[in-house]
């Protein structure tokens, strides 16, 4: 019998600790301060949504376990790097992340910069290893690189930094989030699937549609939680977007319409999975989690 969703999620989350540890340089290897700070940034924290997406998509295409584990670690390393850099004084300037002092607060700014850089490199080294054939690994690395770069996460962050105090339209806000948050969530789904097989156009199309819906839903919910939850629950500073005069779904649509939009996107995600039938159960459950989460 299939494990229930809560049990599966918990198992993946705890397994990720050991996997990330095994794919990071040892904390006591030289340069010790940098490696220790990399462990601080990556381990013991976070919902591990991106690894969960990798495993759920991989399950759909019977991907080999080692390739999924490597992909899951890689997307989480890129994600952790983005959080470390985002929290720095030159960007969002935050003191709290995952319920702990941010890396530049616990260490220093130069170390935080290097932690992000080194985690990004480490992510690609991890995908490059393992037993998949070389062509497939290059395709996966290319997918991850594009999602993380200027046409993905970094590009979205650049638009975000430029938009402080500016009245963005709903379309502009959506474009920013598709890049900033959506691109890495989509890469998580695609890496899991690509680890299993070369995708047919229809399969890739369905996964892109699913990813677009959950990517946007993730951000709409993030904006909702920023206004409705407290810092202790979130493990990061709540209410920052409004304080920084940043456009959000809640500021553009209001709370009720934002909640309705999140629910519509959840349903769209399920609709996109329809061609896969029951085999996509986990991806459907993850769409529910993304919309119904409280942190």
Residues that bind ligand GRG (CB under 6 A): 46-47, 49, 79, 82-83, 85-86, 91, 98, 153-154, 157, 180-181, 219, 222
Bridge partners, residue 96, by sequence: 101
CA distances from 76 to 42, 148, 175, 187 (A): 8, 12, 23, 11
Q: Which residue has its beta carbon closest to ligand GRG?
A: 46
Exposure of 236 by Cβ count < 10 A (0-12 exposed, 13-18 middle, 19+ buried)?
Answer: buried
Residue positions counted in the chain: 295
Bridge partners, residue 250, by sequence: none
- Provide, rounded to whole angstroms, the least separation between the CB of residue 91 and ligand GRG: 6
- Provide, rounded to whole angstroms, the least separation between the CB of residue 85 and ligand GRG: 4
Which C-beta is closer to ligand GRG: that of 91 or that of 260? 91
Which C-beta is closer to ligand GRG: that of 96 or that of 209? 96
Which C-beta is closer to ligand GRG: that of 46 or that of 247? 46
Residues whose CB falls within 8 Å of the CB of residue 84, separated by 6 or more in sequence, listed in order: 41, 102, 103, 104, 112, 115, 116, 119
Which C-beta is closer to ligand GRG: that of 224 or that of 273? 224
- Provide, rounded to whole angstroms, the least separation between the CB of residue 234 and ligand GRG: 9
Q: What gap in Å lies between CA 44 and CA 187, rounded to an integer?
A: 23
Which C-beta is closer to ligand GRG: that of 35 or that of 85? 85
- Provide, rounded to whole angstroms, the least separation between the CB of residue 181 and ligand GRG: 5
């Amino acid at each position: 019998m299939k494990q229930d969703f809560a049990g599966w999620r918990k198992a993946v989350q705890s397994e990720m600790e050991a996997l990330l540890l095994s794919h990071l340089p040892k904390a006591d290897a030289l340069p010790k301060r940098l490696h220790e700070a990399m462990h601080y940034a990556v381990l013991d924290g976070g919902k591990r949504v991106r690894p969960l997406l990798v495993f759920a998509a991989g399950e759909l295409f019977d991907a080999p376990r080692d390739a999924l584990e490597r992909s899951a670690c890689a997307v989480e390393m890129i994600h952790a790097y983005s959080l470390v850099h985002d929290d720095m004084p030159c960007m969002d300037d935050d003191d709290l992340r995952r319920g702990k002092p941010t890396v530049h607060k616990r260490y220093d700014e130069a170390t935080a910069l290097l932690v992000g850089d080194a985690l990004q490199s480490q992510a690609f080294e991890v995908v490059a290893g393992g037993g998949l054939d070389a062509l497939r690994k290059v395709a996966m690395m290319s997918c991850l690189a594009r999602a993380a770069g200027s046409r993905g996460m970094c590009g979205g962050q650049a638009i975000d930094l430029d938009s402080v105090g500016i009245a963005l339209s709903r379309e502009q806000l959506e474009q920013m989030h598709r890049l900033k948050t959506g691109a890495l969530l989509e890469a998580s789904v695609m890496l899991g699937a690509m680890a299993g097989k070369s995708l047919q156009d229809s399969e890739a199309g369905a996964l892109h549609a699913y990813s677009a819906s959950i990517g946007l839903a993730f951000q709409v919910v993030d904006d909702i939680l920023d206004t409705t939850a407290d810092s202790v629950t979130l493990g990061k500073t709540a209410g920052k977007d409004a304080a920084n005069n940043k456009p959000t779904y809640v500021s553009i649509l209001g709370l009720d319409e934002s909640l309705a939009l999140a629910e519509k996107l959840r349903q769209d995600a399920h609709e996109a999975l329809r061609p896969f039938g029951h085999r996509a159960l986990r991806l459907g459950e993850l769409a529910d989690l993304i919309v119904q989460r409280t942190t």
